[in-house]
Amino acid sequence: MSALSGARVVLGVSGGIAAYKAVEVCRRLVDAGAHVVPVLTEGALRFVGRTTFDALGSERAWTSLWDEDRPIPHTHLGQRADLVVVAPATARVLGLYRAGISEDLLQNVLIATRAPVIVCPAMHTEMWEHPAVQENLAVLRERGVHVVEPGVGRLAGGDVGAGRLAEPADIVAAAEAVLARATAVQDLAGLRVLVTAGGTREPIDPVRFIGNRSSGKQGHAVAAEAASRGADVTLVTTTAPQGLPSGVEVVRVDTAAEMEAAVLARADGADVVVMAAAVADFRPVAVADRKLKKADGAPEIVLEPTTDILAALGKRRRAGQTIVGFAAETDDLRANAADKLARKGIDLIVANDVSAPGVGFEHDTNAVVILDAAGGATEIPLSDKRAIARSILDAVIQTRSNP
């Protein structure tokens, strides 16, 4: 069951063009089982209509401190909330919140609540990069506010750059992660967990590379779930994660060699290593220093094997360490996974058939079988990747309790 199920979520919508995306955030939160209370600023009403949120929310939208038929709305909205999400959060909202200025209903709710707060900034690149905005966010983070970073993409007026509101699915995932962390049994407390995610890119020239279709979503879900259960988490990833709880250390890499260096430098200090990344098996021996031209003819690309990071971890593992590998297969799923589990000398392997609909690469869902070194198998049917992450970490806990 989603951590959002039954949760009372105040969805604050402020006055930016990205307010239209808040409609989808509202719908997704309701679909996840949350009781959603929309709070729209006067500026938001210039971009989206109250009627839309009246229809999609769990109760009518709130728009003012003064024209509602119930007294002191900010007090009861803030006190009854399990979570407050502000999407989009404009530069103005962030500045007022940081300063503790309560000039409208949304700001009053933010100051009155003791529930966890998530802000999802959205603004033009120049505003996003302004030192005052970054300072406001730094202060809010220090106070425990969760920030879902904006993405890079098309902005209002046709500009392209940083500041684009995170996608609704990522915002809802962040909401679920924050609530899960607040309510979860802390069965990983005191453990250091190292997670890898994404597909590596092996350059051919400054433009082209050899890669794969891994989005990093499953690894990111494992990192978020581990953090929600109390672990000290380091995520080594090739893709930009969204919706991670605060406190997760993120290490960005690109190539297999970079991932190898980052993982091996940190593995000895980890109690649990989850190798969810799709690491390239081969890389070009030589990388062109300029873009290869079609007119020059098809290049001859000679490949060499990359380091088998998972096997290296299995050989150098220390006492008490749990190592989890992944196997993306298209046939003979269990046989191939069992063989890999034995060859690598690890504790668990998570196998999936990436040729099946909705499974694996680039999807929000997955279906896996988890094999352990003792010969056990746990099959997890098609589920969202956060649910798969929970099952993986349940298997880790089980393995560690039965050494």
Digit-coded pLDDT (tens) for 124-157: 899 999 999 999 999 998 888 999 989 888 877 7
Fold agreement between 8-180 and 186-401: yes
- Give me the pLDDT at residue 74, please: 59
Give pLDDT, residue 359: 86
Q: Which CATH architecture has domain 186-401?
A: 3-Layer(aba) Sandwich (3.40)
How confident is residue 201, by pLDDT bands cut at 50, 70 and 90? very high
Question: Mutual orientation of helices 217-228 and 385-401 as an angle, nearest 10°?
Answer: 60
The answer to whether 109 touches 10, Cβ cutoff 8 Å, is: yes
Token pair 């003012």 in the structure block, residue: 64
Distance CA 176, CA 1 (A): 11
On whether the CB atoms of residues 260 and 245 are closer than 8 A, the answer is: no
Residue 383 or residue 271, greater confidence: 271
Most confident of 83-97, 183-197, 378-392: 83-97
Residue 205 has pLDDT above 80, yes or no: yes
Our answer to whether residue 402 is catalytic in this structure is: no
CATH of segment(s) 8-180: 3.40.50.1950
Residue 62: alpha-carbon gap to chain centroid = 30
SS3 341: helix
Would you state the pLDDT for residue 255? Answer: 98
Q: What does the DSSP assignment read for 64-127?
A: -SSSSSSS-HHHHHHHH-SEEEEEEE-HHHHHHHHHT---SHHHHHHHH--S-EEEEE---HHH
DSSP annotation of 278? B
What is the sign of the dihedral through the CA atoms of 184, 188, 192 and 196? negative
- pTM, rounded to two decimals: 0.63
Residue 216: CB partners within 8 Å, gap ≥ 6? 197, 198, 199, 237, 238, 239, 241, 277
Residue 70 has pLDDT above 70, yes or no: no
Q: How far are the Cα atoms of 9, 105, 272, 373 from residue 191, in angstroms, in the given order?
A: 30, 41, 7, 21
Dig out the tokens for 167 from the structure: 């996608």
The rounded distance, in Å, linking the Cα atoms of 385 and 400 is: 23
Contact 198, 277 (CB under 8 A): yes
Q: Is the pLDDT of residue 81 over 80?
A: yes
The 10s digit of each residue's pLDDT in 238-282 is 998 876 766 789 999 999 999 999 999 999 999 999 999 999 999
Measure the CA–CA gap between 84 and 143, rounded to whole angstroms.
15
Average pLDDT rounded to a whole number, residues 355-370: 87
Residues 6+ apart with CB under 8 A from 384: 364, 365, 366
**Residue 162: pLDDT over 90:** no
- Residue 10's DSSP bridge partners are 37, 84
What integer pLDDT is reported at residue 386 of this predicted model?
85
Predicted pLDDT at 67: 62
Q: Taking the CA atoms of 36, 41, 44 and 48 in sequence, report the sign of the dihedral they define.
A: positive
Percent of the chain with pLDDT over 90: 76
Q: Are 181 and 228 in contact (CB under 8 A)?
A: yes
The pLDDT value given to residue 113: 93
Is 80 exceeded by the pLDDT of residue 300? Answer: yes
- Catalytic residue chosen out of the listed positions 136, 212, 366, 402: 212
Q: Where are the domains of the chain?
A: 8-180, 186-401
